Amino acid sequence: MKWIGVGVVLLLVAAAGVVFALELRRLPKKRARFADRESVPVLTIFDRCYADSGIDQPTFSRLWTRVAEILRLDATRLRPTDRLDLELAPVKGYLAEDEVVALRAFFAEKCQLLGMTEPPRVNTLDELVRALLRPR
């Protein structure tokens, strides 16, 4: 019986190692999608896209940075036009849940905190930002 327990533990450790190794390959592939983009400061993104929207700049910067952290991507390479199902989509060939799932959960939680009974459907980062930060 003791050997069965040891075998199960070794099997779990091996499975975790395989998942870790795959993750080391998946994220660089996702980040490569953005490698050719110019690095644009978050404040510049705000000035270009949201300065006249009534959205508060510090609040925008915190949200944009948090979204980038969730996506595990560089905030200066993200753009408001990035689509969750295209530029931010999962890397094909990997079974792991992608960061977009975590972003959608974050969005739903924030919508609930804002009193929205049903989170609106968002397809781009711009739609996500405007849904969470629109002046009320």
d(CA 41, CA 104): 24
CB 42, CB 75: distance < 8 Å: yes
Q: pLDDT tens digits for 88-108? A: 988 877 666 689 999 999 999
pTM value? Answer: 0.79
Q: Where are the domains of the chain?
A: 2-133
Q: pLDDT tens digits for 7-17? A: 665 565 555 44
The three-point CA angle 39-53-70 to 5° equals 45
CB 46, CB 116: distance < 8 Å: no
pLDDT in tens, the chain (136 residues): 667 766 665 565 555 444 444 455 678 888 888 999 999 999 999 999 999 999 999 999 999 999 999 999 999 999 999 999 999 988 877 666 689 999 999 999 999 999 998 999 999 999 999 999 986 5
Element (H, E) at 46: helix 42-49
Provide CB contacts within 8 A for 84, sequence distance 6+. Answer: 100, 103, 104, 122, 123, 124, 125
